[in-house]
Amino acid sequence: MADQFKPLEGIRVVEMSHMIMGPSCGMFLGFLGAEVIKVEPPEGDKTRHLTGMGSGFFPTFNRGKRSITLDLKSQAGRAALDKLLSTADVFVENFRDETLAKMGFAPDSLRTKFPTLIVSSCKGFLHGPYENRTAMDEVVQMMTGMAYMTGPTGRPLRIGSSANDIMGGLFGAFAVLGALLQRGKDGNGHTIRVGLFENCLLLVAQHMVQFDIEGREAPPMPEREFSWPVYDIFETIEGRQIFIGAVTEGQWALLCNILDLQELLTDLRLQTRMDQINARDWTIPIVSEAVKKSAFDDLVAAFEPAGIPFSPINRPAEMYEDPHVMRAGGLFTSHLPQGGTCRAPGFPFEVDGAPAEAFGFDIPGIGDDTGEVLGALGLDEAAITAARGSGGEERE
């Protein structure tokens, strides 16, 4: 395990955010070795208490952080945050602009007070006509055309995860890394603003550019014009679904041989890739019938060594049993504050042939570190009690 890959070790990040975008930004910085101190209200981050599809938000995106509670409605709480920020390298926040300003923590004010501080603001929009709008992942997917491209015509559909929020947090961390490098050159902090809308806009850029070049709009993905001979979901003899792709003439030939469809190889109407693409309306049913005669395991055994793109149609819960995910470094176990554990992936890269993350994945309880963090700032017990507010008692 590459447990020494901690390029941000010694960097202190103060994170004051909730839901996914801001917390994921802090988590990514923590994965790189930074100390991340999460500032929560006395009752704890509301994200902790979500149920249903939201129940995984807090434990997924707050791994490895320290937690303190501060009552920012009180002078004592604001003074404690101010003192904490004087020791920080990075401040991650996702509050509304006016809310931060009222508390005295607007990014420009912080930069004036702490010239070397890097402020990463995770917002719905960058500056412009929409900058004060409320945004959520689903909102920006609808606005940018992402939902239009995902569902069939007339049925816009959000994609099946909080991908924009997570990628927005990743861009926040990416920008922080750049700002830290720049600070190493000029000694100055920087204010960063990351837009959820602009993040989603980047994700649909390929469709925008196609229109700009060709002058015609791409249809939604379920109705897309195919650029490959085979790129479809089929059903095996057991009734199991499998995705199969054949995107080159070589893969087309291999697939036809594996499925015993040599007649397609000799058909004069199918001698180029464009011939094969244009004939999809009658070749895909033939391929489908051949796949339906085959067992799933037999297809996998033939496709993998041949280099044919394929995949079972899995559910997220099935990933816990996937042999590749279960390998060393594929999943990391976190201890939950209420007891028990959960498993989740880390960074999707390796360093020197080993997983990059091998430290600090537990989820903090509400205010677990308040006394230690504020005590290190010089606050006595009375000041700590006043700053943390009611409901923020430390867990034993």
Sort 380 into a burial class: Cβ within 10 Å, 0-12 / 13-18 / 19+.
exposed
Cα dihedral 159/199/20/170 (nearest 10) = 120
d(CA 141, CA 288): 33
Cβ(132)–Cβ(212) under 8 Å?
Answer: no
User: Is 97 designated active site?
Assistant: no
Residues in the chain: 396
Sort 26 into a burial class: Cβ within 10 Å, 0-12 / 13-18 / 19+.
buried
What is the identity of the amino acid at 239?
Answer: G
Cβ(17)–Cβ(26) under 8 Å?
Answer: yes
- 268 DSSP 8-state letter: G
Of 97, 287, 118, 129, which is closest to residue 186 (Cα–Cα)?
118
Of 360, 369, 376, which is closest to residue 69 (Cα–Cα)?
369
Per annotation, catalytic residue among 165, 267, 275, 369: 165
- Cα distances from 143 to residues 130, 148, 149, 199, 211, in angstroms, run 11, 9, 11, 12, 17
* Longest CA span, the chain: 87
Query: How far separated are the first and last CA of the chain, in Å rounded?
Result: 32
- 309 DSSP 8-state letter: -
Which residues does the annotation mark as catalytic? 165
